Amino acid sequence: MATYAIGDIQGCYEPLRRLLDLIRFDPAHDRLWVVGDLVNRGPESLMVLRYLHELGSAATVVLGNHDLYLLMVAAGVERRDKDDTLYQVLEAPDRDVLLDWLARQPLLHVEGDHAMVHAGLLPVWTITRAQELAAEVSAALTGPDARHFLLHLAGNRPDRWADNLKGWDRLRVIVNAMTRMRFCTPHGHLALRAKGPPDEAPAGTLPWFRAPDRFHRTHTIVCGHWSALGYYRGDGIIALDSGCVWGGKLTAFRLEDGEVFQVQG
């Protein structure tokens, strides 16, 4: 049995299947960890969702910002971006089944000494605290007020965490950190507009995983989201977004021994 963590798929079903062939993935014995952004930009989001849904317990998925965008569009609370590629999902006969499954995926998965999240964790959060906060979002996303939650999800404010935050502001900061963050200050102020490589950090910020005295150093963080960072291992992080949808590569990392597998997008 092996566990393979896979970077942002973003609707690139054909490279995904080539990567699974390369690693000889067997769902009867192996497991996939998928770091989020299953959909959008690539041409086959529907096929990706169907495949991962059918894998059942062989696939462990966390939500990315593009996955949440799909849920927002499907709920009618977000206008379609002219560049999105979600029409196949939104018009599929099994859309409700797939969207319900997607909404039930967590923001954070912790197992052994690894924690998987799409973007990152604020330096002031321990793993236990991050699990609690991710559970708050999951409860909102699957509860009776899910549409209202999605309606209030977009936005960059507040731009820092505080324990006394409440309501939609509280949930928005959690989601923004776990699905959108690249740079922050050592004290956890988010710089969400910055999307460049690590050496282009806005003044006063640094890549989230280089913040000193991070409380979540107890675990290695497995993540994606940051194509300008690419595949990166170090500083208590395994980053796997190697830009498949932009013509880069799709990356798999075997947790048991650290071997890396890649296919061209």
Residue 23 is predicted with a pLDDT of 98
Task: Identify the three-state secondary structure at position 251.
Answer: strand
Condensed to tens digits (0 to 9), the pLDDT of residues 153-186 reads 999 999 999 999 999 999 999 999 999 999 999 8
**Cβ burial, residue 98 (10 Å; 0-12/13-18/19+):** buried
C-beta of residue 193 within 8 angstroms of C-beta of residue 156: yes
Q: Report the pLDDT value the prediction gives residue 48, as an integer from 0 to 100.
A: 98
Mention every residue, 6+ apart, whose C-beta is less than 8 A from residue 149.
140, 141, 143, 168, 171
Locate 251 and state its tokens: 């990356």
What domains lie within the chain, and their CATH numbers?
A: 3-264 (3.60.21.10)
Assess whether pLDDT exceeds 90 at residue 86: yes
Rounded-to-integer distance, Cα 249 and Cα 186, Å: 31
As a whole number of angstroms, the distance between CA 9 and CA 42 comes to 8
Q: Is the Cβ–Cβ distance between 115 and 221 less than 8 Å?
A: yes
Q: What pLDDT is attached to residue 83?
A: 83
Locate 69 and state its tokens: 């965008």
Residue 232: pLDDT above 90?
yes
pLDDT of 72 over the 90 cut: yes
Instruction: Report the pLDDT value the prediction gives residue 131, as an integer from 0 to 100.
Output: 98
Say yes or no to pLDDT of 126 above 90.
yes
Please determine, for residue 101, whether its predicted confidence score (pLDDT) is greater than 90.
yes
The mean pLDDT of the chain is 96
pLDDT surpassing 90 at residue 264: yes
